[in-house]
Amino acid sequence: MHPGNGGQTVLQRSRGEVRLAFKFREQSTVLDDLYQRGSGKIRMARAETGRAKEAVIVNTTGGLTDGDRFESSIHWKNKTRAIVTTQAAERIYQSRGDNAVISTSLVVDDGARAMWLPQETILFDRARLARETRVELNGNAGLIAVESCVFGRAAMGETVKSGHLRDSWQIRMDGDLTFADRFSLEGEIQAQLDQSAIANGATAIATIIRVGPNSAELQENIRQIIEINPAIGGCTSLDPTEDRQQSPRPAPHHVLTICRLFGKNAQELRTTIIAILEMLIVHDSPTICGSPLPRVWSM
């Protein structure tokens, strides 16, 4: 740290950046490019027959606070199939005023299957987070993605009385904006979460997005999973061909399924997320061996 203008203490901020690309070679997915800078690191899981290629993103600072920034750019090239996850839950600590920023860019080429499965993000009291996830899908690219937020650690008796969260998604299919969503909370976080129109008392929320065929079947499967698991939620689908009267996508085409989940605590949310992700991954990759989720999810 050092004194800034007017004698105010200026703290050093963390910067992390990772870039990763996969390519298809000799009938398998292999690493094509890897770049890491600052607090951003990537570790590749040991390859196993019957499992997707797996990469783990690590933030060596152990958390983010005001002014910190972490950027991830992942590219799944034609025909590749790989999982990208994070080593542990990301933590967003009390801020002095500026936002911590998490920026994610996912590009998935024709015929590739991308799985973006970071573990949850935990916000502490008076934390400030701006998180943005941008996705570009080309041709018949497939996607399974999740982003989640936990407000305080219930097991530790923590609540998030105040803070800021801006969480946004943007998904483009063949260059067309198919889905854009922004969720924002400012000020008295817990009071807002308690409102029935927002979260009805939930302190853990998640969005799961899947792009691929057979949407109606999977919607029913997701709803059945939610019914027997502790978190509440629902799902719906968007068909981009409905708005393309001049140049519709060729059949069979992929549609976008969106699932929202709300849990009273992190464990309720995580249990339900795991059940849904396992079903989706096995559905899209029926030959997968063992548990379909990344190994770090069970640590």
Coil, helix or strand for 222?
Answer: helix
Residue 154 structural domain: 29-242+250-288
Residue 12's pLDDT band (cuts 50, 70, 90):
confident
Residue showing tokens 């979260």: 199
**Within-domain flag for 102:** yes
pLDDT tens-place string over residues 226-258: 999 999 999 998 887 765 554 555 445 689 999
Q: Do 275 and 229 contact (CB within 8 A), yes or no?
A: yes
2, part of any domain: no
The total domain count for the chain is 1
Residue 19 has pLDDT above 90, yes or no: yes
Q: What pLDDT band is residue 286 in, cutting at 50, 70 and 90?
A: confident
Read off φ and ψ for residue 62, nearest 5 degrees. 80, 5
Asked if residue 6 belongs to a domain, the reply is no
| Residue 296 is assigned to a structural domain of this protein | no
pTM of the model: 0.92
pLDDT confidence tier of residue 8, bands split at 50, 70 and 90: low
Q: Are 179 and 171 in contact (CB under 8 A)?
A: yes
Asked whether residue 105 is domain-assigned, the answer is: yes
Instruction: Indicate whether 294 belongs to any domain.
Output: no
Q: Which residues contact 195 (CB under 8 A, 6 or more apart)?
A: none
Handedness of CA 49, 257, 74, 103 (dihedral sign): negative
Is the confidence at residue 214, as pLDDT, over 80? no
User: Is residue 19 situated within a structural domain?
Assistant: no
Confidence of residue 217 (pLDDT cuts 50, 70, 90): confident
Interatomic CA distance for residues 155 and 68, integer angstroms: 27
- Assign 158 to helix, strand or coil: coil
Is residue 1 assigned to a domain? no
